[in-house]
Amino acid sequence: MLPPVFSATRLAMLLLGGASGHIIMNSPAPYNLNMQPLLQVDPISGNTFPFPCHNQYGFTTRTPVEAGGVTLANFTGGGQHGGGSCQFSITYDEPAGGGGWNKSARFKTIYSIIGGCPAVFTDETRNLASVAVDKNMRQDSKHCGNDSGVDCMRQFMVPIPKFLKNGPATFAWTWFNKLGNKEMYMNCAPINITGGTGNEKEMEDLPDIFVANYPNDPEVPNCVTGTSADKVIVNFPNPGKYGLVLEAPVEPVNKPSNYCSQIPDARSLPVFESIPMANQETSPALSTPTLPGESSSTGTATEMRTSEFTSGTPSSVPRLSTTTPPMVLQTTLTTTVTEATSIRLGTACVNKPSDGAVACATQGELICLGESFFGLCNWGWAVPQRVAVGTKCEDGKVVAKRDNSDEERPNGYEWKGREPVQPVLVMEDENGMVWVPIGDGSLESQ
């Protein structure tokens, strides 16, 4: 089988590395990803791309999501605006047929990432070069394949709470950019939840998502995270019970009059504290920032200065907590630190959480436990989790299974499957197969 030939337009789009565009979530597959009217890469704004979800709700299938497991959040785009902060949320509200979404729909936060989302840069003033386009001509950049790479588009394994109600729902990603015009991006994906316990109280107790940078609408909160001249990493007012701090929060130098006053001081860091899993007899040691003159509560600890948070190297992008699903909810603590304060992170000093847990060394590392299971290293242990249908664990990544042979792969191309984990759709043949150029040429391997 031979790959199709590039059109002149598509080649031009690929080779214009300076082109920017913005970002969309591609996994779980959002509403109107490949159907008209197409999902656009723009932030939410007024009547053009209204809150919530650009008022889009077209789909053919829902992504299956298992409560108590994780789901992959992945992105396509070329305008990362220095990164920023993201939230992931769930709603059971549904768009009302042809009337679309109600602006009163409640999106409940299940995971917050402060800084480092969806990318971290050695030169944050430049967007990543565009190296590909999807089949709808949306530009794409180099992908990290993890949540810690630098100068590439990150992906995140988002824990799905066990207490969720089974059935149709919507998974949402919201993003507040670090540089340039302060905007709010929002994409929403139709999902179908299974394996949940349906505890409505726990669902109701989750915080609503943070909404800002959406002016001139009386039905939506009207405040801003800063001005276009500011470098801002949003410190979410109520980040919820799961999350990561990948960069230190940054406040605007001169706060505008309509600044979101509910945003906490940048020195007030959320600490996402794990609670033991249901079958765990002994609680894991907790890790909280230690103020001057205090001792750490977790025995052996490593010291990390707050100034290290802003460096561009992977080793200086710390995790205050990394979750290993399935687990019960976490509790968010907040502590205020000064700029000179050292933050102490506890080392792996916890009891084995379950009989099947496997010892591991690197906090947050994804470990393959055969092709069918993976685990995320959390405080020295990785709990086996089954990979999603159509995927396998290989070389520390969950990737799509290949269902064709090497003999069918043309020289110089790598076949990614019909449902790739990172769907960078560069060329698609008449049978719907997707092909991505590899090598060290102008089209970079994904």
Please name the residues in contact with 353: beta carbons below 8 A apart, sequence gap of 6 or more.
276, 277, 279, 280, 284, 324, 381, 383
Query: What span, in angstroms and rounded, lies between the C-alpha atoms of 100 and 170?
Result: 14
The 10s digit of each residue's pLDDT in 18-37 is 333 578 999 999 999 999 99
Give which of 140, 336, 150 is closest to 246, Cα–Cα: 150
Query: Residue 101: its pLDDT value, please?
Result: 94
For residues 434 and 297, the model is more confident at 434
Give which of 244, 259, 200 is closest to 363, Cα–Cα: 244
Give which of 91, 74, 60 is closest to 24, Cα–Cα: 74
Give which of 108, 332, 111, 86 is closest to 208, Cα–Cα: 108
The 10s digit of each residue's pLDDT in 222-244 is 799 999 889 999 999 999 988 99
Residue 440 has pLDDT above 60, yes or no: no
How far is the CA of 272 from the CAs of 148, 286, 320, in angstroms? 18, 10, 7
Residue 405 and residue 414 in contact, taking contact as beta carbons nearer than 8 Å: no
CA 298-299-305 angle, 5° bins = 75
The 10s digit of each residue's pLDDT in 282-333 is 333 333 333 333 333 333 332 322 223 332 333 333 333 333 333 333 334 4
Residue 157 and residue 147 in contact, taking contact as beta carbons nearer than 8 Å: yes
Query: Residue 340: its pLDDT value, please?
Result: 30
Over residues 123-127, mean pLDDT: 72
Please name the residues in contact with 198: beta carbons below 8 A apart, sequence gap of 6 or more.
163, 164, 165, 166
Over residues 373-400, mean pLDDT: 80
- Amino acid (1-letter code) at residue 303: E
Over residues 338-362, mean pLDDT: 50
Cβ neighbour number for residue 289 with a 10 Å cutoff: 21
Query: What span, in angstroms and rounded, lies between the C-alpha atoms of 356 and 358?
Result: 6
For the chain, what's the residue count?
A: 446
User: pLDDT band for position 2 (50/70/90)?
Assistant: very low
- 3-class DSSP string for 298-351: CCCEEEEEHHHHHCCCHHHCCCCCCCCCCCCCCEEEEEECCCCCEEEEECCCCC
Q: Which contiguous run of DSSP H or E holds residue 12?
A: helix 8-15
Burial-class residue 433 by CB neighbours within 10 Å (0-12, 13-18, 19+).
middle
Across the chain, mean pLDDT equals 72
Burial-class residue 9 by CB neighbours within 10 Å (0-12, 13-18, 19+).
exposed
Residue 433 has pLDDT above 70, yes or no: no
User: pLDDT band for position 273 (50/70/90)?
Assistant: low
Query: Residue 382: its pLDDT value, please?
Result: 80
The residue ranges of every structural domain in the chain are: 1-266
Residue 417 has pLDDT above 60, yes or no: no
For residues 412 and 383, the model is more confident at 383
For residues 272 and 170, the model is more confident at 170
- 3-class DSSP string for 340-403: CCEEEEECCCCCCCCCCCEECCCCCCEEECCCCEEEECECCEECCEECCCCEEEECCEEEECCC
The 10s digit of each residue's pLDDT in 196-218 is 999 999 999 999 999 999 977 88
**Annotation: CATH topology of 1-266:** Coagulation Factor XIII; Chain A, domain 1 (2.70.50)
Over residues 361-366, mean pLDDT: 80
Residue 110 has pLDDT above 80, yes or no: yes
For residues 255 and 443, the model is more confident at 255
For residues 304 and 436, the model is more confident at 436
Query: Residue 378: its pLDDT value, please?
Result: 76
